[in-house]
Structure 1
Amino acid sequence: MDSLQVLAPVTALVAGFAHALEPDHMAAVTTFVSRRPRPLQALGFGVRWGAGHSAAILVVGCILVALNVQLPELLARGLEFGVGAMLLGLGLWLLWNVLHERAHRLAGEASADEAHAHHHHHGRGSLWVGLAHGLSGTAPLVAALSATAAGSAWQAAGYLALFGVGTTVAMALYAVAAGALFTRAANRGPALAGTLRAMTALGSAAIGVLWMVNAALPA
């Protein structure tokens, strides 16, 4: 076994771990975690995001490698623009929820049933968000494969799979840590928790706008 065969799996895991902690990824998952920050719920968001991201990269990446093609630049930019729009939408969705809950709290109208309803959302949302992130990130990842997984299509597939494992582990850990932060804020009072969620919403929206602008501008 040569050094490349030893280093490639480690490189894939480390690269996947680092890739998960990019601003757009963390912003998206944080919007979900901020609503349900308990450890198991936060862990679920992180794992589902990682599963969606990993599945998209593995499937699309293997197809691109097998066919020896690259995504057209216009399509790649369109996917990046879509991710930006998604982040903007997530930020606005979270901000609306924060303002809605604050209005109910000030009016003294929020019952236990209403609070539960306001916190309810589709748990699979983070899976689809991860899938979208994976689709937009496949092209640059596959373009970099030649330096680390050159050889057979099986080697490339193995690299992409391990990359996904690293991504999922990192996002799961991040989600739990973010959940702990939101839980601590909630324990100190609803005002602090609401402020932290509002900041998360505005951050997600701002990153989304930045992604859209970068995708729309010529290279």
Structure 2
Amino acid sequence: MNAPLEITLISCAVLGFRHGLDYDHIAAISDITSVQQKASTAMRLGLLYALGHAAMIALLGGIVIMFQLSLPPRLDSWAERLVGLTLIVLAIYVLGSLVWGSPRAIPPSRAALIIRGFRKLRRNFSSAVSGAPMTSDHDENLNYTGPLAFGVGVIHGLGAETPSQLALFLLAANLGGIAKGIGGMAVFLAGLLVMNTLTTASACGLFRSAAPHPRAMRVFVGLTAVYSFVIGCVFLLGSSGRLPPLG
């Protein structure tokens, strides 16, 4: 292995490990794990999120390497702003549920909020078309499922992965061929999965220790919502590159 290729592969591994600690990963994993009743379920769903994220990166990276392409930077810019807007809206909803909801109730996950919003819009539309009074349903048990957690990871892999990171795979391919490019992507994904596993395990421990204490749990959920709001504002302004690195 020549020195430039070796340096590139090491850079891919380090970047993958650091990317697993990005702001959007922390927000997603904390949301998924905070609403699970069992630590084993929280760990499984957190890992499914990581696998979904890795699967999308593998797909994008494969396209970049095989077809010698670079993804347009503008695509990442629009995705960044969309993620930011979503984080802001959901953070406000969560904070509102903390202020006006039951003092002992834990706010629902963002996944539940999205599903509830979709169902409410569907009921409104059906009522307007048919003229029948709108009925309500109770979604108290809505939560993340395996496919949903995996799907969230896929979406984050599509919207948060930057062209500059994928360019490393292309650089590795240019230095040593397609096989070396695939190798660069593999070590990147390995670093990503290791960090996401550690992050998930840490979040599981934090929220499980707070679960028997509703007030403490609400504090943690509130801090998560504030964090999401601030990060959402930064993403919406297209300034995520100015955030200090977390690792």
**TM-score, structure 2 normalization:** 0.70
Distance in structure 1 (CA, Å) of the matches to 2:157 and 2:11: 19
Residue number in structure 1 paired with 2:140? 118
Structure 2: gaps spanning 5 or more residues? 106-138, 241-247
Question: Cα offset for 1:174?
Answer: 0.9
Does 2:173 align with 1:151? no
When Rg is computed on C-alpha atoms for both structures, the one with the higher figure is: 2
The answer to whether the 8 A contact 2:20-2:193 is kept is yes
The answer to whether the 8 A contact 1:35-1:119 is kept is no
Residues 154 and 87 (structure 1), Cα distance of their counterparts in 2 relative to 1, 3 Å cut: farther
Residues paired across the two proteins, number: 206
Question: Cα offset for 1:215?
Answer: 6.2
The answer to whether the 8 A contact 2:64-2:170 is kept is no
User: Identity percentage over the alignment?
Assistant: 26
- Paired residues for 1:68-217 under 5 Å: 68-92=68-92, 94-95=94-95, 98=98, 102=102, 118=140, 120-123=142-145, 124-136=147-159, 137-145=161-169, 150-187=175-212, 189-214=213-238
Per-residue CA deviations over 1:49-82 (Å, capped at 9, x if unaligned) read 2111111111112212222222223222112222
Residues 212 and 159 (structure 1), Cα distance of their counterparts in 2 relative to 1, 3 Å cut: same
Distance in structure 1 (CA, Å) of the matches to 2:81 and 2:163: 14
Structure 1: gaps spanning 5 or more residues? 106-116
Higher helix share: 1
The answer to whether the 8 A contact 1:31-1:94 is kept is no
SS in 1 for 2:84: helix
Give the RMSD, CA atoms, in angstroms.
3.1
Per-residue CA deviations over 1:160-214 (Å, capped at 9, x if unaligned) read 1231222122112211211211122223x21111111111122112212211111
**TM-score, structure 1 normalization:** 0.78
Per-residue CA deviations over 1:112-132 (Å, capped at 9, x if unaligned) read xxxxx6353132333222222
